[in-house]
């Protein structure tokens, strides 16, 4: 292993390089690229390397972030309605299953990234509140003789109904956060909830802060998925859990054909009729096809440093929950 | 050491080929100008057109303020009728000129100052007054997207832009009653399925009083005028701004409205 100073210099050079080449972090990469006659990398390869996919379109990486932002800005108001229409309400079951897999206990610190309209956050708050209430009931039944002070405190309702749990909702898009905050106000969620504007590739949090990190239907919109995974690894406490709910590859050929027809023929039409926006929903179904398969994504999560990575298919693989631990 | 190895392997994985969709899934390869017939074109399959027609009809009934749905309904159901209209325009000298020159009525092409300076009673001045009183703008018309022929896309775009002219010619405001009357006129003149559907189903939302006035006076008047008048799409409105409105109405055999309709609230 090289001496620390030269290693630092080398990694500094590579960091500049990594802006040009996605996914390149270490010097070992050089040997894997095909080289021209003089040993220099041909220019066309460099150009291609800064391009990425936006649905089935090819765009530059700088463009992709902006385009995705515009998509979500325009769908924000009708986001929840469209989710219900497109998935016939099944997305609620998927999100419930994510919570049941998580099994948070009161006191959990959750970071929900790309959590814009708050679906996961609200479910989390409901879950821990129910857990906390159950615990309280058990405690009450166990200790029948309470002192006057304890009874008075219970009446004053000064206790935290969530038992110390907290969820931080982080999203890159202001419109989505706005809708989420409106929903929270309308449904009466106040305690244990915070809204932060932030980029999944560069989270505005310190290391080792959260017990659970979730990202539901958000990671396929991130330009550099590997960076998002690395940030997830960074902000989780040791022992923390990474959970990702995302559209994935269908494993059943019949379901796959029906799903394709439904995705490409019906969903953009629904988007046009309900939300007045064909192109955003065209992007949605295309971005689902561009996302890596369950196994590939599992490997990407392992690369970021997570261990005990597993995945569970829901609805024949239309959706998959990936889970990993930072140990 | 293990992390170093992982770092070497990771970029290789990033360049692995992405899962490609099945062969029969329509690719959006055409969305970058390659297969597009005009800038805003979205190619659609027959199934998508059918779903769009049904969905837009339902949504237009449910929420009458979704003008874009009425537009989509027109585009998806009007194939045959648009061809007939286009041929009709070709046969007329003024219409053929319009098809060739493709004028557009929008705020960028209209010279508002010049229109305002025109004498009272001229087409241009009355059109401008109509826009001001009803607080509408010619730029709120959605561009054509689902028509799979470039000339027909222009025809339907022209029809939409002429719609405001019809309001001026017939003296109808832009509230629901006024719109229904204009739609009856257009239905008889153009035969577009969307106009016919709007004319038949639009009145569902009206009060009994308005419905009575509509059926007894306004619809017969609109239908009579539409039958008498030549095709309104054949008029080169941009060249007729100075023409007095009365003279134009006489030319088209359009009589004045049988009753005064209150403007939009």
The closest CB to that of A299, out of B13, B19, B68, belongs to B13
In terms of phi and psi (left: phi > 0; alpha: psi -120 to 50; beta: otherwise), the region of A114 is left
Residue A2: pLDDT band with limits 50, 70, 90 = very low
**How close B137 gets to chain A, by Cα (Å)?**
20
Q: CA-nearest residue of chain B to A260?
A: B25
Of the listed ranges A106-110, A172-176, B140-144, B246-250, the least confidently predicted one is B140-144
d(CA A320, CA A307): 18
Q: In the predicted model, what is the mean pLDDT of residues B125-137?
A: 85
Q: Is the ipTM of this complex over 0.85?
A: no
Residue A291: pLDDT band with limits 50, 70, 90 = very high
Q: In the predicted model, what is the mean pLDDT of residues A290-299?
A: 94
Do A292 and B19 lie within an 8 Å CB cutoff? yes
Pick from A192, A141, A143, A188: which is nearest to A165 by CA?
Answer: A192
Q: Specify the residue for token string 């239908």.
A: B223
d(CA A132, CA A145): 20
Which pLDDT does position A170 carry in this prediction? Answer: 95
- How many residues does the structure list for chain A? 327
Provide the token pair at A79.
């986001």
Which pLDDT does position B134 carry in this prediction? Answer: 83
The closest CB to that of A289, out of B7, B19, B48, belongs to B19
Do B14 and A292 lie within an 8 Å CB cutoff? no
Is pLDDT above 80 for B132? Answer: yes
> From 3.30.420.40, 3.30.465.10, 3.40.50.150, 3.40.50.1000, which CATH number describes the A51-142+162-326 domain?
3.40.50.150
Do A265 and B55 lie within an 8 Å CB cutoff? no
Quickly list DSSP for A227-277: HHHHHHHHHEEEEEEEEEEEE-----HHHHHHHHHIIIIIHHHHIIIIIS-
Residue A189: pLDDT band with limits 50, 70, 90 = very high
Which pLDDT does position B122 carry in this prediction? Answer: 87
- Contacts for B5-8: CB closer than 8 Å, 24+ residues apart: B6/A303, B7/A25, B7/A26, B7/A28, B7/A29, B8/A26, B8/A28, B8/A29, B8/A32
CA torsion, ordered A288, A292, A294, A300, to nearest 10 deg: -140
Do A286 and B28 lie within an 8 Å CB cutoff? yes
Of the listed ranges A158-167, A212-221, A262-271, B75-84, the least confidently predicted one is A158-167
Q: CA-nearest residue of chain B to A298?
A: B13
Q: In the predicted model, what is the mean pLDDT of residues B165-180?
A: 85
Does A42 contact B at CB distance below 8 Å? no
Q: What is the DSSP letter of A57?
A: E
Residues of A in contact with B59 (CB under 8 A): 273-274
Over residues B40-71, the pLDDT tens digits come to: 899 999 999 999 999 999 998 888 778 889 88
Does A26 contact B at CB distance below 8 Å? yes
Among A42-51, A160-169, A193-202, B236-245, the range with the most confident prediction by mean pLDDT is: A193-202
Q: CA-nearest residue of chain A to B31?
A: A57
Mean pLDDT of chain B: 81
Do B13 and A270 lie within an 8 Å CB cutoff? no
Which pLDDT does position A320 carry in this prediction? Answer: 96
Q: CA-nearest residue of chain B to A31?
A: B8
Q: How many CB atoms lie within 10 A of CB A47?
A: 11
Of the listed ranges A99-108, A210-219, B129-138, the least confidently predicted one is B129-138
Residues of B in contact with A273 (CB under 8 A): 52, 55-56, 58-59, 69, 72
pTM reported for the whole predicted model: 0.76
Which pLDDT does position B116 carry in this prediction? Answer: 84
Half-sphere exposure of B44 (CA within 13 A, CB side): 30
Does B42 contact A at CB distance below 8 Å? yes
Residues of B in contact with A249 (CB under 8 A): 19
d(CA B96, CA A197): 56
Q: Between helices B150-170 and B123-134, what is the axis angle to 10°?
A: 90
Over residues A25-36, the pLDDT tens digits come to: 444 434 444 444
Q: Which of A19, A265, A291 to mutate to test the interface with B (most CBs of B within 10 A)?
A: A265
Distance of CA B25 to the CA centre of its chain: 31
Residue B37: pLDDT band with limits 50, 70, 90 = confident
Is pLDDT above 60 for B194? Answer: yes
Do B18 and A32 lie within an 8 Å CB cutoff? no
Please check if B67 is assigned to a binding site. no
Provide the token pair at A315.
């609805």
d(CA A167, CA A93): 20
Please check if B164 is assigned to a binding site. yes
3-state secondary structure (DSSP) of residue B164: helix
CA angle B29, B24, A88 (to 5 degrees): 95
Q: Which of A224, A251, A264, A284 to mutate to test the interface with B (most CBs of B within 10 A)?
A: A264
| Of residues B116 and A317, more confidently modeled | A317
Q: Which residues pair with B31 in a beta bridge?
A: none
Does B36 contact A at CB distance below 8 Å? no
**How close B185 gets to chain A, by Cα (Å)?**
27
Do B22 and A257 lie within an 8 Å CB cutoff? yes
Does B26 contact A at CB distance below 8 Å? yes
The closest CB to that of A269, out of B14, B52, B145, belongs to B52
CA angle A167, A172, A173 (to 5 degrees): 105
Q: In the predicted model, what is the mean pLDDT of residues B10-37?
A: 49
Which alpha helices (DSSP H) does A21-89 contain, by range?
43-49, 61-75, 79-87
Q: In the predicted model, what is the mean pLDDT of residues B140-162?
A: 88
| Of residues A257 and A4, more confidently modeled | A257
Does A277 contact B at CB distance below 8 Å? no
Provide the token pair at B175.
């509230």
Over residues A208-261, the pLDDT tens digits come to: 999 999 999 999 999 999 999 999 999 999 999 999 999 999 999 999 999 999
Does A61 contact B at CB distance below 8 Å? no
**How close B98 gets to chain A, by Cα (Å)?**
30
Is pLDDT above 50 for A8? Answer: no
| Of residues A159 and A125, more confidently modeled | A125
Of the listed ranges A88-97, A143-152, A166-175, A194-203, the least confidently predicted one is A143-152
Is pLDDT above 80 for B31? Answer: no
Q: CA-nearest residue of chain B to A294?
A: B19
Q: In this structure, are residues A197 and A172 in contact, taking their beta carbons and an 8 Å threshold?
A: yes
**How close A237 gets to chain B, by Cα (Å)?**
20
What part of B 144-163 touches A (C-beta under 8 Å)? 145
**How close A26 gets to chain B, by Cα (Å)?**
6
Distance of CA B87 to the CA centre of its chain: 19
Which pLDDT does position B29 carry in this prediction? Answer: 39
Residue A45: pLDDT band with limits 50, 70, 90 = low
d(CA A18, CA B163): 56
Q: What is the DSSP letter of A319?
A: E
Is pLDDT above 80 for A53? Answer: yes
Mean pLDDT of chain A: 84
Do B11 and A57 lie within an 8 Å CB cutoff? no
**How close A14 gets to chain B, by Cα (Å)?**
12
Do B52 and A272 lie within an 8 Å CB cutoff? yes
Does B51 contact A at CB distance below 8 Å? yes
d(CA A297, CA A319): 13
Q: How many CB atoms lie within 10 A of CB B200?
A: 13
Which pLDDT does position B4 carry in this prediction? Answer: 56
Q: Which residues fall within 8 angstroms of residue B27, CB to CB, at 6 or more apart?
A: A56, B21
Q: What are phi and psi of B262, to 5 degrees?
A: -60, 140
Which pLDDT does position B233 carry in this prediction? Answer: 86
Is pLDDT above 90 for B9? Answer: no
Do B22 and A226 lie within an 8 Å CB cutoff? no
Which pLDDT does position A75 carry in this prediction? Answer: 87
3-state secondary structure (DSSP) of residue A5: helix
Q: In the predicted model, what is the mean pLDDT of residues A192-208?
A: 94
Do B42 and A286 lie within an 8 Å CB cutoff? no
| Of residues B22 and A186, more confidently modeled | A186
d(CA B162, CA B175): 17
- Domain residue spans in chain A? 51-142+162-326
How large a percentage of chain A has pLDDT more than 70? 83
């Amino acid at each position: 292993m090289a001496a620390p100073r030269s290693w630092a210099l080398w990694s500094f050079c590579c960091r500049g390089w990594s802006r040009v080449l996605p996914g390149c972090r270490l010097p070992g990469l050089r040997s894997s690229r095909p080289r021209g006659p003089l040993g220099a990398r041909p220019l066309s390869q460099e150009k291609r390397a800064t391009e990425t996919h936006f649905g089935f379109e090819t765009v530059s990486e700088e463009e992709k972030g902006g385009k995705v932002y515009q998509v979500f800005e325009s769908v924000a108001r009708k986001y929840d309605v469209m989710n219900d229409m497109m998935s016939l309400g099944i997305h609620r079951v998927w999100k419930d299953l994510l919570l049941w897999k998580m099994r948070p206990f009161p006191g959990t610190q959750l970071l929900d990234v790309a959590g814009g309209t708050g679906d996961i956050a609200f479910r989390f708050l409901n879950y821990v509140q129910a857990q906390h209430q159950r615990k309280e009931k058990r405690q009450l039944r166990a200790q029948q003789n309470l002192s006057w002070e304890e009874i008075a405190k219970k009446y004053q309702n000064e206790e935290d109904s969530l038992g110390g749990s907290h969820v931080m909702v982080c999203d890159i898009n202001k419109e989505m956060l706005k809708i989420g905050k409106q929903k929270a106000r309308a449904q009466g969620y106040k305690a244990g909830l915070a809204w932060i504007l932030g980029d999944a590739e560069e989270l505005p949090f310190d290391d080792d802060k959260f017990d659970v990190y979730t990202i539901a239907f958000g990671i396929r919109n991130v330009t550099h998925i590997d960076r998002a995974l690395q940030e997830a690894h960074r902000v989780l406490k040791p022992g923390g859990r990474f959970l990702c709910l995302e559209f994935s590859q269908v494993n059943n050929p019949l379901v796959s054909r029906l799903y394709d027809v439904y995705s490409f023929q019906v969903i953009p039409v629904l988007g046009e009729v309900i939300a007045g926006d064909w192109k955003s929903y065209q992007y949605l179904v295309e971005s689902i096809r561009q996302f890596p398969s369950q196994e590939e994504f599992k490997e990407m999560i392992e690369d970021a440093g997570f261990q005990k990575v597993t995945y569970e298919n829901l609805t024949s693989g239309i959706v998959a929950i990936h889970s990993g631990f930072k140990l | 050491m293990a992390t170093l190895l992982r770092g070497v392997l990771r970029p290789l994985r990033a360049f692995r080929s992405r899962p490609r969709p099945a062969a029969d899934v329509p690719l959006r390869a055409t969305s970058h100008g390659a297969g597009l017939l005009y800038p805003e074109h979205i190619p659609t399959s027959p199934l998508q057109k059918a779903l769009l027609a049904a969905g837009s009809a339902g949504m237009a009934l449910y929420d009458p303020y979704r003008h874009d749905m009425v537009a989509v309904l027109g585009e998806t159901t009007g194939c045959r009728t648009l061809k007939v209209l286009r041929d009709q325009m070709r046969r007329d000298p003024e219409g053929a000129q319009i098809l060739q020159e493709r004028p557009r009525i929008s705020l960028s092409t209209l010279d508002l100052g010049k229109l305002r300076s025109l004498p009272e009673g001229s087409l241009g001045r009355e059109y401008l007054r109509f826009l001001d009183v009803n607080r509408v703008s010619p730029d709120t018309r959605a561009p054509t997207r689902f028509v799979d022929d470039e000339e027909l896309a222009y025809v339907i775009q022209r029809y939409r832009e002429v719609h405001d002219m019809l309001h001026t010619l017939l003296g109808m405001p832009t509230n629901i009653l006024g719109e229904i009357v204009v739609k009856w006129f257009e239905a008889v003149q153009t035969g577009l399925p969307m106009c016919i559907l709007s004319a038949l189903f639009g009145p569902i939302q009206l009060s009994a009083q308005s419905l009575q006035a509509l059926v007894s006076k306004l619809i017969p008047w609109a239908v009579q005028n539409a039958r008498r008048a030549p095709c309104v799409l054949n008029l080169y409105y941009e060249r007729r701004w100075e023409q007095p409105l009365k003279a134009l109405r006489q030319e088209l055999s359009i009589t004045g409205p049988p009753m005064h309709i209150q403007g939009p609230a």
